[in-house]
């Protein structure tokens, strides 16, 4: 005989079938519409082509959203007190009569699903969670929200529990809680998933918070800040699509590994109009891969650097003492020091960026030089055209040109910052009272030969302007420029060496000779004050156009494929048709290439790590200052970083922000959190760790290096014992203990079958930066089936692919924002001794695990860890 559960489940299955049938219908309709638009002949006018493309893009986007809704289309239902039932899901769907069948989780009516409680039922009698696998209902869990229904689990929720999918300790009150705990206890896959089925009320409030202004979401580890930020992006796109599709949303995360970790969340919610970036990639054309000591990066992020850069630019706008003396066409032209100074003042007062103001400066001086030539021409008065001719001749004269360029050169950000960071004399002139001698020494350790030659002109002083030096061989001869004097415009010269768009390793700032992430903010500050040289803009536009073309072709091929139009329409021809004025699809793509792009909304994860200089860059990217900033000040690694949001944000946005706090830790079990809380207290006794939502019934453990005989670690023990250890490298005992602990955690998770079929779950070995590579190499050798992913053979891609390996070795910085089923933490005392804020790093490392933690140590454990760890 059918039970109540069977009946309920059958009823829900029938409804789910209807929803999927409708989804398939709408997909087919959308596909037909898209096909119709693409094959339509049209009138051929530019307007009709644009209209058609707009329609095509809209249909293609809708189709993509419908496709993304296939998995877990519907996950819940609400029974209202008036007898109505509302189903809630990934997207909204209506039947052919336009009667609503499914409500989008972002619609206002869905708020009740997330916020209703017994105390405040939001007009609901019951909330129902549907578990599904593919298109099948596998379980039901009900939260009665009215006294009339009682608070005992309903028969339907018994069905849910009997589905065998729940199974955590610490279950609490409602069936909804068991659904949440089930989601939280699932093995990690190395990728974050959307949480629309189990969003909690405090998270929902943040997601739906007012879009205007700046919202700071503060919360301890695992409180769902990242998840909330991503869902808020989806919510904002849903609510304000017209505006945000045009302008785009920029999401900034701490590392490439982190961006990979979160990159599936928004597509799974059907949203693609978002640009993801790490701070290292925020300056178009530069990939900042260099590294440098923490104290150097910290200094580069100091707001005083803005003054230094401004001063460095002013330093390149020069007035020679004694004025200019130029030999030209058998004449001697003299421009007094005062006259040059006046031209400089006028140019500065024009309030244009350096490269734009240069026109004013040149125009002034060329007018003066032209007058002098005219006065020396026998016969006297000349007409306007003749005067213009003289100005043009002066401008193309090498001596004149070089002299004027030296006074007010056309500069790229790369040149300016490269000189500043490699030329102590340049930095000394610019730093003035802004930096101490010790700070200057930190920034310009020792000039590299390449940077010295690239910046030879930077050391120019008054001698450079003496006539004898005007053709100094260290300066490349400027290229002849097309005349544009008829229009009265003075063309920019080419930038010597074509350095305009170079990512620039020659003048880059890091210890490794490459730009570092901290340089990015300096480059952007400089670019803002310099303005884009025309040529730079031209090259940039060409590069952008080429990239867009490639993307158009790729996209068109996808559309042709998706619609089965192969053979009927040529993808490249289709891409050509799209090549006109672009629709909203390109907004995000354009934005990522364009420094001047104004995003409609900015989301910053791990916002506590953003330096003052980087904030300046970020606000330039989002001048409307509508932003969601998520972070935890207790996790700040930056030495000297503020411990209050007010102090962190005030320099740029005053108090124009609101703070929302998340208080529940969904990731870290209570037993691990107890240990982490001690570390937090050591940072500041007033700080309070978030409450963990679950416990696992097992305390974290400590394993002393040396307790695991080196020979016992797999078959490679003897080899390991003989391995020469360089000073400061992990010893064989430490490696053996780490390998032992990682293997044990992996086995516990059922990972690493010898047939290569790893189970699910992830283990992270977290160590100080310099131990990462040796430990990674050792584990790859010791446990290839666990530590190697196909791509991790390539050392440059190890970090990017770290999440694909069952066991990953990472630094604390690399694990920021991530989570793993199990963590092996190596030498916590070493973390505390690092130049970053050691206690904060330790706190971050301890809070990455969802299930288990093992601490490997060779010396004594730090005091605050002693009581909370059991022997392994």
Binding site for ligand ATP (CB under 6 A): 180, 183-184, 192, 195, 198-200, 203, 219, 221-227, 632, 666-667, 817, 819, 847
Q: Quick one: 214 or 227, whose CB is closer to ligand ATP?
A: 227
DSSP 501: G
Q: Quick one: 276 or 515, whose CB is closer to ligand ATP?
A: 276
For residue 843, the minimal CB distance to ligand ATP (Å) is: 10
Q: How many residues does the chain have?
A: 872
Q: Is position 225 annotated in a ligand binding site? A: yes
Q: Is position 750 annotated in a ligand binding site? A: no
Report the alpha-carbon distance of residue 662 to residue 659 in Å, rounded.
10
Closest CA to 252 of 517, 49, 489: 517
Q: Quick one: 185 or 317, whose CB is closer to ligand ATP?
A: 185
Do 705 and 857 contact (CB within 8 A), yes or no?
Answer: yes
Closest CA to 163 of 135, 126, 137: 137
Q: Quick one: 535 or 660, whose CB is closer to ligand ATP?
A: 660
Rg of the chain over all Cα atoms, to the nearest angstrom:
32
DSSP string, 13-65: HHHHHHHHHHHHHHHHHHHHHHHHHHH------HHHHHHHHHHHHHHHHHHHH
Which H or E run contains 559?
helix 534-562
Closest CA to 739 of 702, 786, 802: 786
For residue 170, the minimal CB distance to ligand ATP (Å) is: 15
Q: Quick one: 182 or 678, whose CB is closer to ligand ATP?
A: 182
For residue 149, the minimal CB distance to ligand ATP (Å) is: 24
Show Cβ contacts of residue 513 under 8 Å, excluding neighbours closer than 6 positions. Answer: 290, 448, 450, 505
Do 491 and 481 contact (CB within 8 A), yes or no?
Answer: yes
CB atoms within 10 A of CB 660: 18
The angle subtended at Cα 109 by Cα 108 and Cα 110, nearest 5°, is 90
Taking each helix axis as running N to C, give the angle between helix 46-68 and helix 4-39, from 0 to 180 degrees, rounded to the nearest 10. Answer: 160
Q: Is position 220 annotated in a ligand binding site? A: yes
Q: Is position 223 annotated in a ligand binding site? A: yes
For residue 162, the minimal CB distance to ligand ATP (Å) is: 22
Residue corresponding to tokens 């949440």: 180
For residue 849, the minimal CB distance to ligand ATP (Å) is: 11
Report the alpha-carbon distance of residue 45 to residue 35 in Å, rounded.
20
For residue 217, the minimal CB distance to ligand ATP (Å) is: 8
Do 494 and 478 contact (CB within 8 A), yes or no?
Answer: yes
For residue 847, the minimal CB distance to ligand ATP (Å) is: 6
Q: Quick one: 390 or 803, whose CB is closer to ligand ATP?
A: 803
For residue 224, the minimal CB distance to ligand ATP (Å) is: 3
Show Cβ contacts of residue 654 under 8 Å, excluding neighbours closer than 6 positions. Answer: none
For residue 261, the minimal CB distance to ligand ATP (Å) is: 9
Q: Is position 507 annotated in a ligand binding site? A: no
CA distances in angstroms from 9 to 95, 128, 141, 151, listed in the order given: 22, 12, 11, 21
SS (H, E, C) 604-657: ECCHHHCCHHHHHHHHHHCCCCCEEEEECHHHCCCCCCCCCHHHHHHHHHCCCE
Three-state SS at 129: strand
Q: Quick one: 203 or 451, whose CB is closer to ligand ATP?
A: 203
Which H or E run contains 553?
helix 534-562
Q: Quick one: 358 or 848, whose CB is closer to ligand ATP?
A: 848
For residue 738, the minimal CB distance to ligand ATP (Å) is: 23
For residue 226, the minimal CB distance to ligand ATP (Å) is: 3
Q: Quick one: 245 or 819, whose CB is closer to ligand ATP?
A: 819
Q: Is position 36 annotated in a ligand binding site? A: no
Phi, psi of 452 (to 5 degrees): -65, -45
Report the alpha-carbon distance of residue 266 to residue 231 in Å, rounded.
8
- HSE (side-chain half, CA atoms, 13 Å) at 570: 4
Q: Quick one: 219 or 828, whose CB is closer to ligand ATP?
A: 219
- Taking the alpha carbons at both ends of the chain, their separation in whole angstroms is 52
For residue 68, the minimal CB distance to ligand ATP (Å) is: 18
Do 638 and 609 contact (CB within 8 A), yes or no?
Answer: yes
Q: Where are the alpha helices (DSSP H) in 40-188?
A: 46-68, 111-115, 155-161, 175-185
Q: Quick one: 221 or 533, whose CB is closer to ligand ATP?
A: 221
Q: Quick one: 199 or 460, whose CB is closer to ligand ATP?
A: 199
Closest CA to 259 of 279, 237, 245: 279
Q: Quick one: 552 or 819, whose CB is closer to ligand ATP?
A: 819
For residue 252, the minimal CB distance to ligand ATP (Å) is: 14
- Residue ranges of the annotated binding site for ATP are 219-226
Residues at the binding site are 219-226
């Amino acid at each position: 005989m059918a039970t109540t559960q069977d009946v309920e489940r059958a009823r829900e299955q029938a409804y789910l079938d209807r929803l999927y049938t409708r989804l398939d219908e709408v997909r087919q309709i959308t596909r037909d519409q898209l096909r119709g638009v693409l094959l339509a002949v049209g009138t051929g006018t530019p307007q009709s082509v644009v209209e058609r493309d707009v329609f095509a893009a809209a249909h293609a986007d809708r189709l993509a959203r419908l496709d993304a809704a296939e998995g877990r289309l519907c996950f819940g239902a609400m029974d209202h007190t008036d007898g109505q039932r509302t189903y809630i899901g990934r997207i909204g769907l209506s039947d052919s009569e336009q009667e609503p069948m499914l409500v989008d989780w972002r619609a206002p009516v869905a708020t009740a699903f997330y916020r209703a409680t017994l105390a405040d039922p939001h007009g609901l009698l019951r909330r129902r969670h549907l578990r599904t696998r593919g298109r099948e209902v596998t379980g039901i869990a009900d939260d009665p929200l009215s006294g009339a229904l009682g608070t005992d689990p309903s028969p339907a929720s018994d069905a849910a529990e009997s589905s065998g999918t729940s199974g955590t300790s610490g279950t609490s009150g409602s069936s909804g809680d068991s659904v949440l705990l089930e989601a939280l206890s699932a093995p990690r896959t190395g990728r974050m998933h959307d949480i629309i089925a189990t969003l909690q009320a405090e998270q929902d409030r943040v997601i739906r918070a007012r879009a205007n202004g700046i919202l700071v979401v503060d919360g301890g580890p695992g409180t769902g800040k990242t998840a909330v930020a991503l869902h808020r992006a989806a919510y904002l796109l849903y609510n304000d699509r017209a505006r945000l599709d045009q302008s785009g949303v920029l999401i900034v995360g701490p590392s490439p590994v982190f961006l990979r970790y979160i990159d599936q969340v928004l597509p799974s919610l059907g949203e693609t109009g978002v640009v993801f970036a790490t701070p290292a990639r925020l300056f178009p054309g530069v990939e900042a891969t260099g590294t440098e000591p923490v104290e150097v990066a910290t200094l580069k992020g100091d707001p005083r650097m803005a003054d230094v850069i401004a001063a460095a630019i002013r330093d390149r706008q020069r007035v020679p003492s004694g004025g200019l003396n130029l030999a030209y066409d058998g004449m001697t032209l003299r421009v007094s020091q005062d006259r040059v100074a006046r031209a400089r003042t006028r140019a500065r007062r024009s309030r244009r960026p350096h490269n734009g103001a240069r026109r004013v400066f040149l125009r002034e001086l060329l007018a003066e030089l032209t007058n002098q030539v005219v006065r020396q021409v026998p016969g006297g008065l000349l007409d306007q055209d003749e005067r213009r001719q003289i100005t043009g001749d002066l401008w193309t004269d090498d001596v004149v040109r070089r002299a004027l360029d030296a006074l007010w050169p056309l500069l790229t950000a790369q040149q300016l910052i490269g000189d500043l960071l490699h030329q102590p004399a340049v930095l000394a002139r610019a730093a003035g009272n802004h930096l101490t001698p010790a700070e200057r020494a930190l920034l310009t350790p020792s000039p590299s030969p390449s940077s010295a030659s690239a910046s030879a002109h930077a050391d120019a002083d008054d001698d450079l302007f003496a006539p004898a030096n005007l053709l100094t061989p260290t300066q490349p001869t400027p290229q002849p420029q097309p005349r544009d004097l008829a229009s009265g415009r003075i063309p920019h010269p080419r930038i010597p060496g074509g350095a305009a768009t170079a990512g620039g390793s020659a003048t880059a700032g890091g210890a490794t000779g490459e730009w570092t992430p901290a340089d990015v903010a300096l480059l952007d500050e400089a670019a803002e004050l310099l303005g884009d040289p025309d040529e730079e803009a031209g090259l940039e536009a060409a590069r952008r156009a080429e990239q867009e073309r490639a993307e158009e072709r790729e996209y068109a091929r996808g559309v042709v494929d998706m619609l089965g139009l192969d053979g009927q329409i040529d993808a490249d021809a289709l891409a050509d048709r799209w090549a006109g004025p672009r629709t909203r699809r390109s907004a995000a793509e354009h934005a990522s290439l364009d420094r001047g792009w104004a995003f409609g909304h900015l989301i910053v994860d791990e916002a506590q790590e953003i330096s003052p200089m980087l904030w300046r860059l970020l606000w330039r990217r989002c001048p409307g200052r509508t932003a969601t900033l998520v972070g935890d000040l207790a996790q700040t690694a930056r030495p000297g970083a503020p411990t209050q949001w007010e102090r962190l944000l005030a320099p740029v946005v005053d108090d124009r922000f609101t703070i929302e706090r998340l208080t529940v830790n969904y990731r870290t079990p209570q037993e691990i959190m107890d240990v982490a809380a001690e570390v937090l207290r050591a940072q500041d006794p007033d700080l309070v760790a978030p409450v963990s939502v679950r416990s696992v019934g097992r305390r974290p453990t400590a394993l002393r290096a040396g307790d695991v005989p080196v020979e016992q670690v797999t078959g490679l023990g003897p080899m390991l014992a003989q391995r020469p250890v360089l000073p400061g490298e992990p010893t064989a005992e430490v490696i053996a203990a780490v390998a032992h602990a990682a293997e044990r955690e992996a086995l516990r998770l059922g990972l690493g079958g010898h047939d290569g079929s790893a189970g699910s779950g992830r283990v992270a070995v977290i160590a100080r930066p310099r131990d990462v590579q040796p430990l990674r190499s050792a584990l790859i050798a010791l446990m290839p089936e666990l530590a190697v992913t196909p791509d991790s053979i390539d050392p440059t891609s190890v970090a990017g692919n770290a999440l694909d390996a069952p066991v990953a070795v990472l630094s604390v910085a690399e694990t920021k924002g991530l989570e793993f089923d199990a963590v092996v933490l190596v030498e916590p005392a070493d973390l505390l001794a690092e130049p970053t804020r050691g206690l904060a790093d330790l706190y971050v490392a301890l809070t990455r695990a969802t299930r288990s933690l093992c601490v490997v140590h060779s010396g004594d454990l730090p005091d605050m860890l002693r009581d909370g760890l059991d022997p392994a």
